[in-house]
Structure 1
Amino acid sequence: MIQEGKAFSGFSVSDLQKAKEFYSKILGLNVENDEKMPDLLNLHINEKNTILIYPKPNHEPATFTILNFPVKNIAETVNELKSRGVKFIVYNEENFKTDEKGIMWGDGHGPNIAWFNDPAGNILSVIESDE
């Protein structure tokens, strides 16, 4: 049954061309038009992980993180992405705060993480990891 197939994830965007430019040129990821369905994009995270990006005319961004990118050094990654034009989300809620760069430092209570939006408003993150 379903355990026999290769599962994959996907998410919608309001503008496929803007998404392709953002994920390929700004984030530096491998993005290709789907061979069988040219109105869809395949976001290749590595050789084994492909995520489907599809257009949706009435797209509404998710209110949660849809994609997390593990990184070795969050401060360096945030600085690099900022230099490419990525704007990080600064949270200043009572129990949910980031610094002025948009980094939430886990300080032993969780991972170091920073959130940003793609052009469609979807929430993405970079999360510090040793893996």
Structure 2
Amino acid sequence: MQLNLEHPDHEFVLRAADGASARVNDRQLHASFVLSPNRLVDDWGVQDVKAMTPQDLEPVLALDPEVILLGSGAAQKFPPAAVIAACLSRGVGLETMTNAAAARTFNILAGEGRRVVAAFVLAG
């Protein structure tokens, strides 16, 4: 079987993520962050998914996603209904999952050229 090295056409790849940290390319992160295929916002102030407000989504929505992957930490937690409604009212999908699952899903969707943005809550 022939193997080919694939070079993604986007700048950022999630190498790993759990509830306390994540590795984007070769950089280890210990605070909540937002990631698109070509942009990293490493100072997202959210520390608890259940306490999120629609205003917390502004840096995420500013990246013009078609879908948002919300990494809620080591365990799956859901944001308040107002946060979900803020996405739906703009026609943006919101999927909540663990950070590890969000990392895998982000890489797949980014590799397909989708307008995906992932927001990760880390409790470092």
Q: Same fold (TM over 0.5)?
A: no
Structure 1 or 2: larger helix share?
A: 2
Structure 1 or 2: larger strand share?
A: 1
The higher relative CO (CA closer than 8 Å, separation ≥ 6) is in 2
Instruction: Give the greater-gyration-radius structure (CA).
Output: 1
